[in-house]
Amino acid sequence: MPATEPPQAGLPAPGTPTIKRRLAAMVYEFFLLFAVEMLAVLLYLLITGNRQEALFQHGLKVYLFVVTGLYFTWCWRDSGHTLAMKTWRIKLVKPGHARLPWRVAIVRYLAAWGWFAPALIVCAVSGLHAKAGIAGALALGIAAWAATAWFDRDRQFLHDRLAGTRQILLPKPVRSKDKQP
């Protein structure tokens, strides 16, 4: 069903998932993405012969950025959700579109780096290399980005607002034993 169709008679309009639900899905997503990236690193190391020169180290970072982008944008474009989002019954939609356009998915992916990029830039500029300091900066940046949903009238995160997308809560699936005969 396209995202712009009105709800069917008797069915409520899809609501916005709670911030807690979306953050829980993100934690689950971390573990799934970790597996995807470990496979990507293995392929990269096999192809490059595990070369350790600076060019190959920077190449690995660019490669992982692209692999991560392909994972998210393909999932969002294909079905509107990643496996973690599907598990938590969250779908990404663009009002007026049946499927998320590639351009919108890419803009959302790049804007979502707002969760991490500002803290990483501050760490790089300030020369912060201690793990505890980097973790603290990342935690502060993540908390600040998550807080953007509290100030949004629809409780959407800033990267969704910037990309023109929204996350909706899907209804619980009806199990066969719950159906009346």
Q: Token digits for 180?
A: 């009346």
pLDDT of residue 6: 45
Give the pLDDT score at 178: 57
Contacts of 111 (CB under 8 A, 6+ apart): 158, 159, 162, 163
pLDDT in tens, the chain (181 residues): 444 444 444 445 578 999 899 999 999 999 999 999 999 999 999 999 999 999 999 999 999 999 999 999 999 999 999 999 999 999 999 988 999 999 999 999 999 999 999 999 999 999 988 999 999 999 999 999 999 999 998 889 999 999 999 999 999 888 877 565 5
Are 100 and 76 within 8 A, CB to CB? Answer: yes
Tell me the DSSP string of 1-62: --TTSPPPTT-PPP-PPPHHHHHHHHHHHHHHHHHHHHHHHHHHHHHHTT--SHHHHHHHHH
Exposed / middle / buried, residue 105 (Cβ in 10 Å: 0-12, 13-18, 19+): buried
What residues contact 156, with CB distance under 8 A and at least 6 apart?
16, 149, 165, 166, 167
Residues ≥6 apart with Cβ < 8 Å to 65: none
pTM of the model: 0.83
d(CA 45, CA 82): 26
Please state, in angstroms and rounded to a whole number, the distance separating the CA atoms of residues 177 and 57.
54
